[in-house]
Chain A
Amino acid sequence: MREKESNLLSNRVKRALDEKAKALDPHVAEALKTARYRALAEKEKSTPRSLRPILFPIGGLVLATLIAVVLIFLPKGPSPKTPYSPADVKCVEILSSEQGADLKFIENLDLYENLKFYQWLANQKRLENEDTGGWRGTGNSPLPFMSCISKASGKPQREAYLSKMLQWRRPS
């Protein structure tokens, strides 16, 4: 019984409110329409449809440019290690050429092993000359002597140069 009454009331209220909605004042209906258009315009403003055909290709172009720039300027990783660097190859060329023959003495370690002996020998000769008063050397630094030795090319030449030097330093 209560439910039937409730349904009847609901129907009556519904009809009454529908009539009231239909009979709204014209200025209220107009204001509602304006509010609706304003809301729809707000949606349009958030995503302007007229710009979409332009914005999508521009976005794609910008993205492609960025990717290209990154790929071009990205620091490359270490290249696979070659067995010989260009400098190594150049050294080999110099050493194997005739012009580089004067550097071949580097392979002969005897000179370096005996350098101290040669220094000692030179000093001994100098002291001997000083004792005898016949020393005419330009200085007592071993450096010019050593540099001269290192300039020597080949063992025979080096030995000849050394003996010449020793003779030159010997008092006449």
Chain B
Amino acid sequence: MAALDTESALDAFLASVERKAFIMAQMSTRNEEDALDIVQDAMLAFVRRYTSRPQGEWKPIFYRILQNRIRDWNRKKALRNRILKWFSKGERGDGKGEGPLEELADPNPSDPVDALMSKDIATTIANAVAELPLRQQQSFLLRTWEEMDVAQTAYVMGCSEGSVKTHYSRAIKALRKELGEYWP
């Protein structure tokens, strides 16, 4: 009976966070497939190891796993880009000019002018948030969207509360600059 309760509670919890988790991952990766993979990995890791913890702790634990997965993905991407850049420089020989990755068209253009011209305010704001550096983005989304306090955000991000405050204030400043006339 208790197992059934736990199972239904777990199902309800995952259903309540899956969409937010996907959007957070998509903002960071800008890739739908990668975002889905990250969310699924986070769900599996959470279910395998942490469901025995009190239900009140589930949310911060799940988001901590998710943010770690997002950070790992970004590190791998940065490393891959560095290696590709190094090889492309070697092929060009002169070390000047942009590599093939830089020459590719951005599938999600984040031009502020385009964004501000859009009538879809939600998309504009989401794009502006997606433009933030990873740590600022994490602190802003966790504090604003998930309504976590500073201590919980610090736990999820694996840093000090002071760092959370710093990242959050920088995110607000960057958004104010980015959103311009959409700023309240």
Contacts and interface: CB of A to CB of B under 8 A. Distances in A.
A31 interface: yes
Interface residues of A, number: 31
Interface stretch (B10-18, B66-74, B76-84): B10-18
B14 A13 contact: no
Interface of A: 5-6, 8-10, 12-17, 19-22, 24, 28-29, 31-33, 35-36, 38-40, 42-44, 46, 49
B48 A24 contact: no
Interface string B161-176: 0000000000010011
B144 interface: yes
B122 A28 contact: no
Interface of B: 3, 7, 10-11, 14-15, 18-20, 22-23, 32, 36, 39-40, 43-44, 46-48, 51, 121-123, 125-126, 129, 140-141, 143-145, 172, 175-176, 179, 183-184
Given A36-B14, A39-B40, A43-B51, A10 B20 contact: no
Nearest to B39: A35
B122 A35 contact: no
Contacts of B145: 13-14, 17
A86 B140 CA distance: 92
B26 to A, nearest CB: 9
Nearest to B51: A43
B41 to A, nearest CB: 9
Nearest to A6: B172
B11 A40 contact: yes
Given A14-B145, A36-B43, A43 B121 contact: no
A20 B126 contact: yes
Contacts of A14: 144-145
Given A13-B144, A32-B22, A39 B47 contact: yes
B184 A39 contact: no
Contacts of B172: 6, 9
Given A9-B184, A12-B184, A39 B46 contact: yes
